[in-house]
Amino acid sequence: MKIDRTGSNLTPFMSLFADGKGDNFKIALSRSFSFASYIAILAKNTMPAHKLDLWDQAVQYQLAKIGQSEKLFVDGTILLLEKYDSKEVWQHGLSITNPPRLGQRLWVLSDAIIKTPTQAIAIELDHGSQLGRWVQQLLKAVRILASDRVDGVLYCFYWEKDLSPSESLLGTNFDFSEEFLSLINALLFNKKLGLITLGLNNTSFSFERADAVKFFEETYVTNPKMSLKSRQVAQKILENL
């Protein structure tokens, strides 16, 4: 597989999306990434040492909300998010024991699964502002293709700054090296890889305080699955908003 300098290629998975192109899914991702950034900044300004796993929680929270109200995938295809459907997502991880310890979190695990009647596509949701981070997390994402429980991986990355006017990760005088591409190809196991990279210029959505309040209340304060410490920290953030 050749990865071009834009860091995006949905061709392997076009047939999964209700619009046939994945544009609506990219908009949903943009809104979710933007919401996570808003929540992370708000919490940092309010309580800098909170230590909550806010970015992952906020991305999946918003993506779940959008998925409930909009048709993103073709009939018979569902999106399973690790924060909400953990036991089902865990079944598609990479195990280090034989037989696998089903029902428990496996060694390598994706953030979500696009599940069809015949396929399971792992989704990795990451963010950063350096090309090294983008590459590091991509290599982490493709490891899951060693699992016989997934048929492909869709790597989704939030570039926390503006992309170039050509929406390229690399300058015009650069391209990905053959060594890097050879490494990616060696890890694909003849399976499919899709990529979506979105920059700040793709994620200009605005949110209100009420959106943040609802997120903290539903995700932490009233969620019995969260630890007492996490619920208390979230409550303090809410009180200081």
SS3 assignment for 191-203: CEEEEEEEEHHHC
Query: What's the mean pLDDT in 111-130?
Result: 96
Tell me which residue has tokens 């924060």: 83
pLDDT for residue 164 = 73
Question: Using N-to-C axis directions, what is the helix angle for 131-142 and 178-187, rounded to 10°?
Answer: 30
C-alpha span between 67 and 83 (Å, rounded): 14
Q: What are phi and psi of 145, to 5 degrees?
A: -65, -10
Q: Judge whether residue 128 has pLDDT over 90.
A: yes
pLDDT for residue 91 = 87
Query: What's the mean pLDDT in 123-152?
Result: 94
Q: Indicate the pLDDT class of residue 167, thresholds 50, 70 and 90.
A: confident
> Which one has a higher pLDDT value, 48 or 111?
111
Strand ranges (E), the chain: 78-81, 112-115, 120-128, 152-159, 192-199
* Helix, strand, coil % in the chain, rounded to nearest 5: 45, 15, 40
pLDDT for residue 229 = 94
Least confident range of 86-100, 135-149, 208-222? 86-100
Structure tokens at 77: 């295809």
Q: How many Cβ atoms from other residues are within 10 Å of residue 16's Cβ?
A: 22
The gap from C-alpha 34 to its chain's centroid, in whole angstroms, comes to 12
Query: What's the mean pLDDT in 185-198?
Result: 93
Q: Indicate the pLDDT class of residue 169, thresholds 50, 70 and 90.
A: confident
Query: What's the mean pLDDT in 84-111?
Result: 82
Q: Judge whether residue 133 has pLDDT over 90.
A: yes
Q: Is the peptide bond preceding residue 100 cis, with omega within 30 degrees of 0?
A: no
**What average pLDDT does the chain have?**
91
